[in-house]
Every structure is written in structure tokens, then in C-alpha cells.
Amino acid sequence: MKYKKLSLILILGLLLISCSNEIEDSTVAAPEHYKVEFENEYVRVVRVAYNPGEESEMHSHSPLVAVSLTGGQGIFTDQDGNEETRPEAFAGDVLTDPGSSHSVLSISKGYEELVFIEPKKSFPFSINDVPNAIELDDIDSKIELEEFGIRAIRMKGKPGSESPFHSHRAGVIVALTDVHVEHTTLDGETSIVKNKAGTASWAEPRVHKGRVLSQEGYEAIFFELM
């Protein structure tokens, strides 16, 4: 009986140690650097910000894809104290992380800002006869990477350019420049979209054609759910 009681105490102690060593999510452990921008049942979008020389607490991430808005660089330290200086990122670079736990020391030359897209589950796909934007040669859309059920598509539009009707799956659009475009649906309804550079927004599946209204054109990354 004494042996059984001792074993129970030992098990409870190990459980408490295990719980105390659990690494908290980035938005909990380091809220000054990681803030939830918005979340639905399919994705969570986290905005990340570091000033040069700032260091975060040890934290965890879900698998994610991301885009750097400013460029930057950091030294990443894992739970065992191993340091890794990751390659410098530049504004507009698409990045990925498998969901590691680490702290980060910013060695950036200036303020660093990123947007993380953390997928939670697939969005139901509805088949239609309209090609996806990446399937059309006369639309400047290029897949940068496919990871964790998301494909990151770089989209560009020249001033005054018009696209034919095309489709998109659901996902998150991050504007790298100011965006000013006109969209027209198959029913002939038009809408104007204006987003500032750095804006992240959720987009439902859709079919439309577009016309670029700005004199500078635009560039954006579309994180499309697969």
C-alpha cells in the first residue's frame, strides 16, 4: 500500500513538472511581439513586430506560412539552448515554420513586421467551371510555396490592366502595396476594393474579373486554403 501511494505521488509530480515545462503559445508568452489580428474556424492570422535588439520569451507556434512586410533577421534559440541565426529576409519574402518552440533576438537593421497565417482546417471546396487565377497565363499569379494545406500565391497587377473571369479558393490576402481595384462578378455586379499596404483580410471563395484602378499597380500575397 505504501508503495502504491509513493508511486501515485511520483506520477503526480512528473505530471506537474511536465505541465510547468509546457511552452506557451507566442501570443500568450510574448504578446508584445505576437498579436492575433483575426481568427475564424479555418485560420488564425498573427501580426508580428520586433524592434532591433528586442528579445522574446520562449514561445511556441503552430505550423505556419508567413510574409515579411519589412525584411529582418533574428537569432533563434531552442529549448536546449541551441542558437540559429536565420538568413536575412527581405520585404515581400514568403516564409514558413514547422511549428517549433524558441525565443527570438532581433538583429534586424530596423523595425521588423510580419504576418503569420496559421491554418486550422481545410475550407470546403466547391467545383466550378471557371479556372483558378493561377491557371490563366494572362493573370500575373505565381505559386511561391505550398505548405500545411496553404499555397502562397504572389499576385501582381499593372496599372490599368484587366483580367478575364477567374476563380479563387478561400484564404487570406496580405497587401504588399496599396491596392485599388474594381471587381465584377458573373452577374455584372461591381465593387471597389481599396486596401493599404500591410493589410491582411479574409476572402471567401469567389469568381470575378478585375481592373486595376491605381496608377502604380499592386502586389499582394494570397494564402489560399487547399
Interatomic CA distance for residues 127 and 131, integer angstroms: 10
Please give the single-letter amino acid code of residue 204. Answer: E
Interatomic CA distance for residues 209 and 163, integer angstroms: 5
Q: What is the CATH number of domain 23-119?
A: 2.60.120.10
**17: pLDDT strictly greater than 70:** no
Domain ranges of the chain: 23-119, 133-225
For residue 2, name the pLDDT band (cuts at 50, 70, 90): very low
Overall pTM > 0.75: yes
Q: What are phi and psi of 143, to 5 degrees?
A: -75, 125
**46: pLDDT strictly greater than 90:** yes
- H/E element, 220: strand 218-225
Same fold, 23-119 and 133-225: yes
pLDDT at 218: 95
**104: pLDDT strictly greater than 50:** yes
User: To the nearest whole percent, how much of the chain has pLDDT over 70?
Assistant: 90
Stretch 95-102: mean pLDDT:
92
**132: pLDDT strictly greater than 80:** yes
CATH 2.60.120.10 applies to domain 133-225: yes
